[in-house]
Chain A
Amino acid sequence: AQTVTQSQPEMSVQEAETVTLSCTYDTSENNYYLFWYKQPPSRQMILVIRQEAYKQQNATENRFSVNFQKAAKSFSLKISDSQLGDTAMYFCAFMKHAEYGNKLVFGAGTILRVKS
Chain B
Amino acid sequence: DAGVTQSPTHLIKTRGQQVTLRCSPISGHKSVSWYQQVLGQGPQFIFQYYEKEERGRGNFPDRFSARQFPNYSSELNVNALLLGDSALYLCASSLGTVPGFEKLFFGSGTQLSVL
A residues apposed to B, CB below 8 Å: 4, 33, 42-47, 50, 52, 91, 93, 95-109
Contacts and interface: CB of A to CB of B under 8 A. Distances in A.
- Counting chain B residues whose Cβ lies within 8 A of the other chain, the interface size class is 20 to 34
A96 B90 CA distance: 20
A46 B4 CA distance: 12
Contact of B101 (A33, A45, A108): A33
A44 to B, nearest CB: 5
Given A98-B100, A101-B45, A45 B55 contact: no
27 contacts: A43-B88, A43-B90, A43-B109, A44-B108, A46-B106, A47-B103, A47-B104, A52-B101, A91-B42, A95-B101, A98-B100, A99-B56, A100-B55, A100-B56, A100-B100, A101-B45, A101-B56, A102-B31, A102-B45, A102-B48, A102-B56, A103-B58, A104-B35, A104-B45, A105-B45, A108-B40, A108-B41
